[in-house]
């Protein structure tokens, strides 16, 4: 688990946990504004916006408190790459792991099961949903218990093992792969295993492990999406039960008989109740049914609660924080799983592209002989390797104990945007009009390919969250002291001609000047790169230089915009993308250097070159075209080891005679 063992609820004795959880569940909030709220108001935000943003900032601090200091955000690889003067390159390398035979046994059984159901036509029922028999068979195979520890009937897979399984399963059916993430990462499994008491774990985890109770996490509401402070669902204690009233929306896996983590407000504090939904709808529990295209082979419904009663012992009480703390914790797992799913899904796309490109001829020549098609094949391979690299890296960080929020955001954004580009620009355009036939991978799944850009957090919103996490510590150390002085002086800007300002700011400005001069004079140093090809080495060094110099770009932006920075969303998004691309280059180059497959290394080179051009604004050269098209030619002619388990379907509407 990624929690610090000293603060994890499950590390406490039964008596200690009982003592904590029989106390008043929520301490009264202290009065008065935090400095962050004051700064937002001075920057032009309303008092309500400042209050709500301050609440999220507090929740973020509480999540940080769950992790040991060496694994918190300020010690994460992405943060250190920008702000530290000495950076260990190995922080960006994937950690080798000894495979677990028990986990591999479950994975193989699950893959074989889905492969057989797919081939026999028994995967989907008449309503277009994954059948109950398939879900039950997966439970018998141990699929739903991969992230549950062995003590409670699961397999105890690491996040790296789990994410690699997601990639393999997505080559067979991305929905089945996605349901594992919904259940294990953002459903009830992670909240209970990470924040539940011994009694709660004993009651819920075995049924979650064997699939008797599949799960979901009920957070989103009709008016509360990215703004989690807008929650309206409430739970009021009445004797031994909480009485729940409110509505949830867009909840995957939400049907009667499931177990959900229900986010609601208790005494105006976000909280999480673990709820066993009844087997049928009744007067206090109703489904809000609607048609939705994305994840249509899974169940996605709204939940309406009217005086719905939940035992009070089902309340999760984290030792630090509240319900938002619990929600944030599982989201990182889900974001890694999303990137892993994209990698498997794009493998399926590429496997479908190759036979069609060899079959389809224009002007007497198969289109896999054409430069544009070869470029698409090579580009697709690069995106796959990038997803593999970021998935393995982030999963490894979570397994080591890092919070990994910034890194998992990079993986989520890269994976979702890569899958979108692959589907529209590479896969659809290669297949032409046949893409829209019923039964075609694109036509049947276009919404599935686009939805990840929204799920687990919309990409640009997450990019700003990445940026805010990156600047938070720097801002607290150097800019908050300046802001406090200005607040006390009743000023928004320092006035260099006012002696009072100069005198009051001498301490904070000296501290900032010392940091700035030290970085300018000493610079930033990285430990040595491992053995790698010259092209991959050049990519890695370029990324390191970009990350090291970005500290001045970011700090300069903070100086320029000061209290108005929170409203400069476009600037924050641009800087965030710039840094994400640099980190993706570094991680991909290091990942590929460990591969013995030359095509994988070439695919990494193609991706790193593309990301470099995005950073520098350079145009694609003839040499760039040669590299990507040569990669596409090689894969079209000889295949690729990364596609060895992937089977393509029949060509739709063939026109050539056998």
Task: Decide: helix, strand or coil at residue 215.
Answer: strand
Separation of alpha carbons 237 and 314, rounded Å: 12
Q: Do 450 and 486 reside in the same domain of the chain? A: no
The number of residues in the chain equals 658
Smallest CA-to-CA distance from 253 within 326, 180, 310, 327 is with 180
Virtual torsion, Cα 488, 494, 497, 498, nearest 10 deg: 0
What is the mean pLDDT of the segment spanning 131-159?
A: 97
Query: 240: number of CA atoms within 13 Å, CB side?
Result: 2
Distance CA 588, CA 600 (A): 10
Q: Is residue 526 domain-shared with residue 595, that is, in the same domain?
A: yes
Tell me the average pLDDT across 94-120.
Answer: 95
Average of per-residue pLDDT across 135-140: 97
Greatest mean pLDDT among 25-39, 46-60, 158-172, 308-322: 158-172
Q: Kind and range of the H or E element at 588? A: helix 569-593
Q: How far is CA 538 from CA 16, 176, 535, 603, 605, in A?
A: 54, 39, 5, 15, 10
Tell me, yes or no, whether 45 lies in a domain.
no
Question: Is there a single domain that holds both residue 352 and residue 407?
Answer: yes
So what's the pLDDT on residue 371? 97
Residue 25 counted as domain residue: no
- Tell me if 247 is assigned to some domain: yes
Per DSSP, 422 falls in state I
Four-residue CA torsion sign, 183, 187, 192, 194: positive
- What does the pLDDT read at residue 53? 62
Q: Which of 416, 431, 460 is the last residue of a domain?
A: 460
Is 74 among the domain residues? Answer: no
Angle between helix 323-359 and 405-421 (nearest 10): 30
- Spatial distance between the Cα atoms of 72 and 401, rounded to a whole number of angstroms: 9
18's enclosing H/E stretch is helix 14-21
Q: Which of 282, 279, 242, 289 is nearest to 262 (CA)?
A: 242
pLDDT of residue 319: 73
Does residue 536 carry a pLDDT above 80? yes
**How much is the average pLDDT of 366-370?**
97
Check pLDDT > 80 for residue 209: yes
Collect all residues with Cβ–Cβ distance below 8 Å to 233 and sequence separation of at least 6. Answer: 221, 244, 245, 246, 247, 248, 262, 263, 264, 265, 305
Question: For residue 28, is it within any domain?
Answer: no
The answer to whether residues 413 and 536 belong to one domain is no
Q: What is the pLDDT of residue 605?
A: 98
- Let me know whether 390 and 282 are in one domain: no
Contact 115, 126 (CB under 8 A): no
380 lies in the same domain as 510? no
User: Looking at residue 32, what is its pLDDT?
Assistant: 47
Q: Tell me: do 622 and 481 sit in the same domain.
A: yes
Residue % of the chain over a pLDDT of 90: 75
* DSSP annotation string for 392-403: HHHHHHHHHT--
Final residue before a domain boundary, out of 294, 316, 338: 316
Q: Do 483 and 619 reside in the same domain of the chain?
A: yes
Domain that holds residue 424: 323-460
- Torsions phi, psi for 261 (to 5 deg): -90, 110
The Cα–Cα gap between 650 and 277 comes to 42
Predicted TM-score (pTM) of the model is 0.91
User: How big, in percent rounded to 5, are the helix, strand and coil portions of the chain?
Assistant: 60, 10, 30
Query: b vs e for 280-315, b when ≥16 Cβ sit within 10 Å of the residue's Cβ?
Result: eeeeebbbeeeeeebbbbbbbbbbbbeebbbebebb
φ, ψ of residue 453 in degrees (nearest 5): -65, -20
The answer, yes or no, to whether residue 393 has pLDDT greater than 90, is: yes
Is a pLDDT exceeding 70 seen at residue 5?
Answer: no
pLDDT of residue 658: 62
Give the pLDDT band of residue 656 (cuts 50, 70, 90): confident
- CB-based contacts of 333, cutoff 8 Å, min separation 6: 159, 181, 184, 185, 186, 190, 398, 408
Alpha-carbon span 31 to 274, nearest angstrom: 30
Count structural domains, the chain. Answer: 3
Query: How far apart are the C-alpha atoms of 79 and 470, rounded to whole Å?
Result: 6
Nearest in space to 263 (alpha carbons), one of 275, 254, 272: 272
Whether residues 246 and 348 share a domain: the answer is no
Mean pLDDT of 505-526: 90
Mean pLDDT of 185-191: 94
pLDDT digits (tens, 9 = 90+) for 584-594: 999 999 999 99
- Torsion angle of C-alpha atoms 42, 44, 48, 52, degrees rounded to 10: -80
Residue 483: what pLDDT?
81
Q: What does the pLDDT average to over 515-527?
A: 91
334 in any annotated domain = yes
Average pLDDT over residues 35-50: 54
Residue 162 to residue 97: CA distance in whole angstroms: 12
> What backbone phi and psi angles, to 5 degrees, belong to 238?
-135, 95
Same domain, 409 and 505: no
Is residue 287 within a helix (H) or strand (E), and if so which, with residue range?
A: strand 285-288
On whether residue 95 sits in a domain, the answer given is no
Lowest-pLDDT range, 43-47, 158-162, 516-520, 620-624?
43-47
* pLDDT tens-digit map of 459-469: 999 999 999 99
As a whole number, mean pLDDT of residues 129-143 equals: 97
User: Looking at 283, 316, 349, which one is the last position of a domain?
Assistant: 316
Can you give the C-alpha Rg of the chain in angstroms?
A: 26
Q: Are residues 212 and 252 in the same domain?
A: yes
In a domain, 34, yes or no: no
Name which of 144, 228, 204 is nearest 179 in CA terms. Answer: 144
With cut-offs at 50, 70 and 90, classify the pLDDT of residue 495: confident
- Assess whether pLDDT exceeds 60 at residue 6: no
CATH number of the domain bearing residue 256: 2.40.110.10
* 17 pLDDT higher than 80: no
Comparing C-alpha atoms, which of 395, 287, 380, 382 is closest to residue 335? 395
With cut-offs at 50, 70 and 90, classify the pLDDT of residue 43: low
pLDDT in tens, 573-612: 999 999 999 999 999 999 999 999 999 999 999 999 999 9
Contact (Cβ atoms closer than 8 angstroms) between residue 251 and residue 218: yes
Q: What percent of the chain has pLDDT over 70?
A: 90
pLDDT tens digits along 23-42:
333 333 333 444 455 455 54
Average pLDDT over residues 320-331: 82
Range 334-367 burial, b when 16+ CB lie within 10 A, else e: bbbbbbbbbbbbbbbbbbbbbebbbebeeeeeeb
* Beta bridge partners of residue 302, listed in sequence order: 288
Task: Calculate the CA 147 to chain-centre distance.
Answer: 17
Contacts of 645-648 with C-beta under 8 Å, sequence gap 24+, read: 645/168, 645/171, 646/171, 646/347, 646/348, 646/350, 646/351, 647/351, 648/351, 648/352, 648/354, 648/355
Indicate the DSSP class of residue 136. Answer: H
Confidence of residue 328 (pLDDT cuts 50, 70, 90): confident
Same domain, 279 and 138: yes
**Burial group, residue 385, by CB count within 10 angstroms (0-12, 13-18, 19+):** buried
Give residue 51's pLDDT band: very low, low, confident or very high (50, 70, 90).
Answer: low
Residue 369's CATH number: 1.20.140.10
pLDDT of residue 3 exceeding 90: no
Average pLDDT over every residue of 162-188: 96
- Residue 23 has a pLDDT of 34
The pLDDT of residue 604: 98
Q: What is the mean pLDDT of residues 129-145?
A: 97
CB 326 within 8 A of CB 274: no
């Amino acid at each position: 688990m990624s929690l610090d063992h000293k603060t994890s609820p499950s590390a406490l004795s039964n008596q200690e946990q009982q003592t904590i959880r029989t106390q008043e569940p929520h301490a009264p909030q202290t009065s008065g504004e935090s400095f962050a709220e004051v700064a937002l108001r001075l920057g032009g935000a309303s008092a309500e916006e400042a209050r709500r943003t301050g609440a999220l900032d507090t929740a973020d601090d509480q999540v940080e408190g769950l992790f040991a200091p060496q694994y918190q955000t300020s010690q994460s690889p992405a943060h250190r790459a920008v702000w530290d003067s000495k950076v260990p390159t190995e922080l960006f390398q994937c950690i080798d792991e000894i495979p677990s035979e028990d986990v591999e046994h479950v994975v193989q059984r699950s893959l074989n099961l889905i492969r057989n159901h797919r081939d026999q036509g028994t995967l989907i029922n008449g309503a277009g949903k994954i059948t109950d028999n398939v879900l039950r068979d997966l439970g018998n195979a141990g699929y739903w218990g991969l992230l549950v520890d062995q003590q409670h009937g699961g397999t105890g897979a690491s996040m790296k093992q789990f994410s690699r399984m997601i990639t393999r399963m997505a080559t067979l059916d991305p929905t089945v792969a996605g349901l594992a993430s919904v259940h294990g990462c953002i459903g009830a499994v992670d909240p209970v295993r990470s924040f539940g008491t011994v009694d709660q774990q004993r009651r819920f985890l075995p049924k979650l492990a064997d699939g008797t109770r599949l799960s979901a996490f009920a957070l989103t509401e009709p008016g509360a999406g990215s703004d989690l402070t807008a929650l309206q669902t409430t739970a009021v204690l009445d004797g031994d039960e909480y009485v729940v009233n409110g509505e949830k929306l867009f909840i995957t896996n939400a049907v009667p008989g499931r177990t959900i983590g229900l986010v609601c407000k208790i005494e105006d504090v976000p909280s999480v109740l673990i709820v066993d939904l009844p087997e049928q709808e009744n007067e206090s529990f109703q489904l809000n049914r609607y048609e939705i295209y994305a994840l249509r082979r899974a169940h996605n419904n709204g939940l309406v609660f009217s005086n719905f009663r939940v035992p009070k012992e089902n309340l999760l009480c984290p030792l630090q924080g509240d319900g938002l703390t619990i929600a944030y914790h599982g989201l990182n797992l889900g974001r890694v799983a999303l990137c892993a799913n994209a990698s498997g899904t794009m493998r399926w796309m590429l496997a479908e592209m190759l036979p069609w490109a060899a079959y389809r001829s224009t002007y007497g020549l198969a289109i896999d002989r054409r430069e544009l098609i070869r470029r698409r094949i090579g580009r697709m391979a690069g995106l796959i390797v990038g997803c593999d690299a970021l998935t393995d890296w982030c999963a490894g960080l979570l397994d080591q104990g890092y919070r990994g929020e910034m890194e998992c955001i990079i993986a989520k954004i890269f994976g979702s945007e890569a899958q979108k580009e692959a589907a529209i620009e590479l896969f659809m355009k290669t297949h032409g009009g046949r893409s829209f036939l019923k039964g075609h991978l694109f036509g049947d799944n276009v919404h599935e390919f686009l939805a990840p850009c929204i799920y687990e957090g919309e990409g640009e919103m997450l990019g700003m969250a990445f940026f805010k996490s990156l600047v938070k510590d720097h801002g607290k150390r150097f800019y908050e002291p300046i802001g406090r002085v200005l607040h006390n002086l009743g000023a928004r800007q320092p006035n260099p001609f006012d002696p009072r300002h100069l005198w009051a700011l001498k301490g904070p400005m000296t501290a900032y000047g010392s940091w700035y001069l030290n970085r300018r004079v000493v610079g930033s140093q990285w430990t040595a790169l491992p053995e790698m090809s010259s092209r991959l080495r050049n990519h890695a060094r370029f990324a390191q230089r970009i990350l090291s110099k970005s500290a001045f770009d970011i700090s300069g932006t903070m100086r320029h915009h000061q209290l108005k920075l929170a409203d400069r969303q476009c600037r924050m998004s641009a800087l965030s993308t710039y840094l994400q691309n640099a980190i993706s280059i570094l991680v991909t180059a290091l990942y590929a250097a460990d591969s013995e497959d030359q095509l994988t290394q070439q695919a990494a080179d193609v991706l790193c070159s593309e990301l470099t051009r995005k950073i520098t604004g350079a145009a694609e050269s003839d040499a760039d075209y040669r590299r990507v098209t040569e990669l596409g030619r090689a894969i079209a002619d000889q295949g690729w080891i990364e596609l060895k388990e992937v089977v393509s379907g029949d060509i739709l509407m063939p026109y050539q005679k056998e």
